[in-house]
Structure 1
């Protein structure tokens, strides 16, 4: 998967969340959940496992690897652009 232009939450999805009859904390959690699901999908794909099979250890290792890529190769080479 090419993550160079990948969005974890689109503008349209964010607008749909805004329209939902939810409190502000619930809207925040909804956005976070959608984004997290997308990120977990990427992690599972890169790890070669089903999303349901991901372990906390694999997720932590993935974040470490992505951070190392960001530090060594630059932000554009990493999945997370922060």
Structure 2
């Protein structure tokens, strides 16, 4: 799995659009999470060379384990998720 340079899961503009939407705070949170998750699922699907719809829960878990291992062994900048 290679690092995704410049990966941005939610832009400031998108976040601002969610802010002005006529949604409750929990709905806004879920909307932001869904947008970010969609982008991450695209990355995971690319890593497995499958369409998003074909991803299995196990592939998603495996991808997170690989990214976590990269972060531990190579540092946060080498991982996709920067947390």
TM-score (norm 2): 0.95
RMSD value over aligned CA atoms? 1.2
> Runs (4+) of structure 1 moved beyond 6 Å?
none
How far has the Cα of 1:32 moved from its partner? 0.1
The corresponding residue for 1:12 is 13
Counterparts of 2:24 and 2:63, CA distance in 1? 32
Q: Which runs of 5+ in 2 are unaligned?
A: none
Give me the whole-angstrom Cα distance separating, in 2, the residues matched to 1:45 and 1:33: 18
Between the aligned partners of 2:72 and 2:62, the Cα distance in structure 1 is: 15
Say whether 1:49 aligns with 2:50: yes
- Structure ranking higher on relative contact order (CA contacts 8 Å, 6+ apart): 2
Q: Which residues of structure 1 form unaligned runs of 5+?
A: none
Deviation per CA, 1:46-76, whole angstroms, max 9, x where unpaired? 1111000000000000000000000001111
Query: TM-score with structure 1 length normalisation?
Result: 0.96
What secondary structure is seen at the aligned counterpart in 1 of 2:6? coil
Aligned residues: 82
